[in-house]
C-alpha cells in the first residue's frame, strides 16, 4: 500500500493554488490535513498527477463568530473546533458532531474543508452543513462563488466542485441561544463511520416545535433532509404521539443500502430509534437506553 507516484506543489497563495489545479486539467487534487485523501492514495483508489498542498496558503484557518453566524475557514481543524469554547457556545451542534469524528489523532490534522470536499455519505460534517443550511464558499479560475450545502453534495464522494475549485470556507447562519438541537449516531465502535446518524434542531414557539430541521446521514448517497419527518413535527407540541409520528415518517422516508455492516431494514430502524431518543430527551421525557454506548 505504498502511494502511487505524483508531483507535489506547495503554493503560497490561493491564486497560485487555483492556477495549479486548472493547469492540471482535472488530474490534480488539493491536500490539506490529508486524513481522507491519504487512505485513498494508499489503496490507490485515486492516482492524481499532482497534489497541491494548501499548508502555506494564508487566510483559510480562522474561526469567526458574529451576530450573523459562524464562519469557518476551510483549513479549520477538528481539534480547533473541539477546543473553542466560544464556538461551543455559538454553535453547539458543531462541537457535538466533531466529538464523533474519528479519533483524537485524526482530529489534529483533519479539516472541515477536507471533509466537506470528500463527501463521505457516513460523515458527520456534511450532514450538519446540510441541516443548518450552511453555505460553502468556493474559489476557482472562474472566480468566487457560494453553494448552499443542500445542493453541494451530489453522491457518494461527489460534490458540485469543479476540478479547478477549492473550498475556502463554510458559513453557518446565526444560531439562537434557546434553540433545541440534537446530534445522535450509532457506530460499531467509538470513532467509526456511523451506521446511521441524525441531526436536528427546532425553535420552540408557544410550546410547539417550529422551524423544524431534521437530517440523516449514513443512510444514502448523501446526507438527507427528512421533509416528512419535519412535517410530522413542525408546529406541533412534543407529545409522545407526535414523536412517534415523526419517527415513523423518518423510518419510511429513508432508503438505505444493504451492506456487510447492516441491512436496509436495520438502518431504517436506527433512524427511527435515533429520532425517538433525541426527541424524547429534548421533550424532557426520560430517554432510556442511550443510543451510543460510546
Partner 1 sequence: MRTDVEINGKLFSFEVEPRTTLADCLRYKAKLTGTHVSCAHGFCGACTVLVDGQPVRSCLMLAVQADQCSVLTIEGISNDDDLTPLQKSFRKCHAAQCGFCSPGILMSAHALLTSEPDADEDRVREVLSGHLCRCTGYIPIVQAILEARPAYKKQQSELP
Partner 2 sequence: MTKVNSFIGAPIERVEDLRLLRGKGTFIDDVERDGMVRAVILRSNVAHGILRNVDTSAARQMPGVVAVLTARDIGTPMPTIPLRHMTVPDVVRPYEQPVIAATKVRYVGEPLAVVLAATHEEAEDALEHIQVEIEPFPAVVSCRAFQPPAALLFEPTGTNCAITYHAKRGSGPTDFPDCYVRRERFTTNRHTAAPIELRGLLAEWDDGNGRVTVNGAAKVPFTTRRILSKLIGLPIEAIDMIECDVGGGFGVRGEFFPEDFLIPFAARLLKRPVKWIEDFREHLMATNHSREYDADIELVCKRDGTLLALRGHVFADIGAYLRSTANVGPRNIAQFMSGPYRIPEIDIDVSLMMTNKSPTGTYRGPGRFEGDYMRERLLDLAAADLGIDRVEFRRRNLVTADEMPYQLSSISPPEVAAYLDSGNYSQTLTHCLEQFDWETKSKRQGLQDDGRYWGVAIGCFVEGGGSGPLENARMVVGTDGSIAVYVGSAIVGQGVETVMAQISADSLGIDMAHIRVFHGSTTYLPDGYGSSHSRATVMAGSAITLAAEELKKAVRKSAALRLNCAEADVVLRDTTAHGPNGSSVTWSELASEELAGFGTFKHKKNTYAYGSQAVQIAVNPGTGHIEVVDYVSTADVGRVVNPLTLKGQVIGAMVQGLGGTLLEHLCYAEDGQLLVGSHADYLMPSATDFPNLRAFVKGEYPSPNNPLGVKGGGEGGLICTAAVISNALASALSEFGVSPTSLPLSPPRVWEMIHQPR
For residue 207, what is its C-alpha cell? 410550546
How far apart (Å, rounded) are the C-alpha atoms in residues 270 and 265? 9
Interaction of residue 191 with partner 2, rule CB under 8 A: yes
Binding window for partner 2 (CB under 8 A); candidates: 50-58, 136-144, 236-244, 282-290: 282-290
Backbone angles phi, psi at 15, to 5 degrees: -65, -40
Burial class of 100 by CB neighbour count within 10 A (0 to 12, 13 to 18, 19+): buried
Q: How far is CA 105 from CA 35, 119, 125, in A?
A: 10, 21, 18
Interaction of residue 53 with partner 1, rule CB under 8 A: yes
Interaction of residue 1 with partner 2, rule CB under 8 A: yes
Cβ count within 10 A of residue 225: 17
For residue 172, what is its C-alpha cell? 453557518
Provide, rounded to whole angstroms, the least separation between the CB of residue 39 and partner 1.
4
Three-state DSSP class for residue 22: helix
Question: For residues 187-206, which are near partner 1 according to CB under 8 A?
Answer: 189-191
How far apart (Å, rounded) are the C-alpha atoms in residues 204 and 180? 8
For residue 57, what is its C-alpha cell? 496558503
Three-state DSSP class for residue 198: strand
Interaction of residue 16 with partner 1, rule CB under 8 A: no
Interaction of residue 276 with partner 2, rule CB under 8 A: yes
How far apart (Å, rounded) are the C-alpha atoms in residues 277 and 266? 16
Chosen residue from 19, 65, 88, 109 binding partner 1 by CB under 8 A: 109
Chosen residue from 12, 42, 86, 174 binding partner 1 by CB under 8 A: 42
Q: What angle do CA 163, 167, 172 make, to 5 degrees?
A: 145
CB 20 within 8 A of CB 12: no
How far apart (Å, rounded) are the C-alpha atoms in residues 200 and 214? 4
How far apart (Å, rounded) are the C-alpha atoms in residues 100 and 96? 7
Chosen residue from 8, 206, 260, 284 binding partner 2 by CB under 8 A: 260
Interaction of residue 5 with partner 1, rule CB under 8 A: yes
Provide, rounded to whole angstroms, the least separation between the CB of residue 6 and partner 1.
6
Interaction of residue 7 with partner 1, rule CB under 8 A: yes
Q: Which does 195 bind (CB under 5 to 8 A by kind): partner 1, partner 2, none?
A: partner 2
Interaction of residue 55 with partner 1, rule CB under 8 A: yes
Interaction of residue 126 with partner 2, rule CB under 8 A: no
Q: Which does 284 bind (CB under 5 to 8 A by kind): partner 2, partner 1, none?
A: none
Question: For residues 18-57, which are near partner 2 according to CB under 8 A?
Answer: 39, 43
Footprint of partner 1 (CB under 8 A): 1-8, 10, 31, 34-35, 38-39, 41-43, 51, 53, 55, 79, 102-106, 108-109, 189-191
Footprint of partner 2 (CB under 8 A): 1-5, 39, 43, 186, 188-193, 195, 260-263, 265-266, 269-270, 273-274, 276-277, 288-291, 293-294
Amino acid at each position: 500500500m505504498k502511494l502511487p507516484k505524483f508531483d507535489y506543489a506547495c503554493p503560497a497563495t490561493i491564486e497560485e493554488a487555483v492556477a495549479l489545479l486548472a493547469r492540471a486539467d482535472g488530474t490534480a487534487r488539493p491536500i490539506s490535513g490529508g486524513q481522507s485523501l491519504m487512505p485513498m492514495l494508499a489503496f490507490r483508489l485515486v492516482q492524481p498527477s499532482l497534489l497541491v498542498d494548501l499548508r502555506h496558503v494564508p487566510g483559510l484557518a480562522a474561526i469567526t463568530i458574529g451576530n450573523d453566524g459562524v464562519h469557518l475557514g476551510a483549513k479549520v481543524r477538528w481539534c480547533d473546533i473541539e477546543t473553542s469554547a466560544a464556538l461551543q457556545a455559538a454553535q453547539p451542534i458543531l462541537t457535538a458532531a466533531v466529538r464523533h469524528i474519528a479519533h483524537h489523532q485524526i482530529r489534529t490534522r483533519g479539516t472541515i474543508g477536507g471533509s466537506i470536499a470528500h463527501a463521505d455519505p457516513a460523515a458527520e460534517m456534511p450532514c450538519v452543513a446540510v441541516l443548518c443550511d450552511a453555505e460553502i464558499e468556493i474559489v476557482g479560475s472562474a472566480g468566487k462563488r457560494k453553494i448552499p450545502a443542500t445542493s453541494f453534495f451530489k453522491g457518494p464522494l461527489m460534490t458540485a466542485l469543479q476540478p479547478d475549485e477549492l473550498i475556502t470556507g463554510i458559513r453557518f447562519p446565526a444560531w439562537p441561544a434557546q434553540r433545541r438541537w440534537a446530534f445522535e449516531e450509532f457506530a460499531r465502535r467509538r470513532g467509526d463511520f456511523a451506521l446511521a446518524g441524525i441531526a436536528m434542531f427546532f425553535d420552540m414557539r408557544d410550546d410547539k416545535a417550529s422551524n423544524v430541521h431534521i437530517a440523516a446521514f449514513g443512510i444514502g448517497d448523501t446526507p438527507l433532509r427528512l421533509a416528512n419527518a419535519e412535517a410530522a413535527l413542525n408546529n406541533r407540541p412534543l407529545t409522545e404521539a407526535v414523536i412517534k409520528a415523526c419517527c415513523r415518517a423518518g423510518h419510511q422516508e429513508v432508503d438505505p443500502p444493504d451492506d456487510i455492516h447492516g441491512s436496509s431494514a436495520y438502518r431504517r430502524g436506527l433512524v427511527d430509534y435515533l429520532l425517538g431518543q433525541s426527541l424524547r430527551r429534548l421533550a424532557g421525557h426520560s430517554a432510556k437506553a442511550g443510543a451510543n454506548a460510546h
